[in-house]
Structure 1
Amino acid sequence: MQTIFLQATSDGGMLPQLLMFGGIILVFYFFMIRPQQKKAKDQKKFRDELTKGMNVVTIGGLHGKLIGIENDIVVIEVDKGVRLTLEKSAISMEATVKVQ
């Protein structure tokens, strides 16, 4: 029984454990939190730079051409005469294929 207690003691103290915990936090920040913040910043910048006539894709996958922009509301034309009113946050990215 005494050998179990002797094995549980550590000579290094808490410093190695704190360094390991700090390293885990740094890895978590640089590989998970920071890229997510950068992506959100880029997405916000894209939405702020939307202009009429751009071909865009919504989060739901609809392709259309921006017809009107007013504050946080956008109007896209998905087909001739078919217009949808959406929140600006519903725009995902610029379309690579032009909508006719």
Structure 2
Amino acid sequence: MGMIIPLVLFVAIFYFMLIRPQQKRTKETREMQASLSRGDKVVTIGGLHGTIDSFDEKQMVLKCGNSRLTFDRGAIREKVKSAAEPKQEEKKLEDKKDATQDVAAETSEK
């Protein structure tokens, strides 16, 4: 019995530290690849940056400069945020800061 408890603990730690996070990353990658659409900027596993020109169930055509390259859908590593998205996030942060400053000013006046 004394040897079973450390073995069970080892398996549990191994599962929560290695297997579960990898499954989570794989699921997120699959969902991202399924949600891609024409015009999205992406990065491939090999590090190639491009814009999706067209796609079907298994392949995608990326436009890179003046050329078009065909990749398997699974070769897409990540979707790159456009320039407008970070600006929207910055605006939200500024709005939160303004609201915090307004609350701080009201409390200091009381």
TM-score normalised by structure 2 residue count: 0.72
The structure having more radius of gyration, on CA atoms, is: 1
Supply the distance in 1 between the matched residues of 2:79 and 2:46 (Cα, whole angstroms): 13
Query: Any residues of structure 2 matched to 1:5-24 within 5 Å, and which?
Result: 15-24=1-10
The corresponding residue for 1:88 is: 73
Query: Higher helix proportion, which one?
Result: 2
Identity within the alignment, %: 33
Shift of 1:96: 3.9
Partner Cα distance (2:29, 2:10) in 1: 28
Matched to 2:13, the amino acid is V
Amino acid at match of 1:93: E
Structure 2 distance, partners of 1:78, 1:90, is: 15
Is the counterpart of residue 71 in structure 1 residue 57 in structure 2? yes
Unaligned residue ranges in structure 1 (runs of 5+): 1-14
Q: Which residue of 2 aligns with 1:48?
A: 34
Q: Which runs of 5+ in 2 are unaligned?
A: 84-110
Q: Write the deviation string for residues 66-99 of structure 1: whole angstroms up to 9, x where unpaired.
A: 00011111000010x300011001100012467x
Please give the alpha-carbon distance, in whole angstroms, between the structure 2 residues aligned to 1:16 and 1:60: 49
Q: Give TM-score scaled by structure 1 length.
A: 0.79
Q: Name the SS for the 1:16 alignment partner.
A: coil
Determine which structure has the larger strand proportion and give its number. 1
| 1:33 has 2:19 as partner | yes
Q: Which structure has more RCO (C-alpha within 8 Å, separation ≥ 6)?
A: 1
Aligned residues: CA RMSD: 1.2
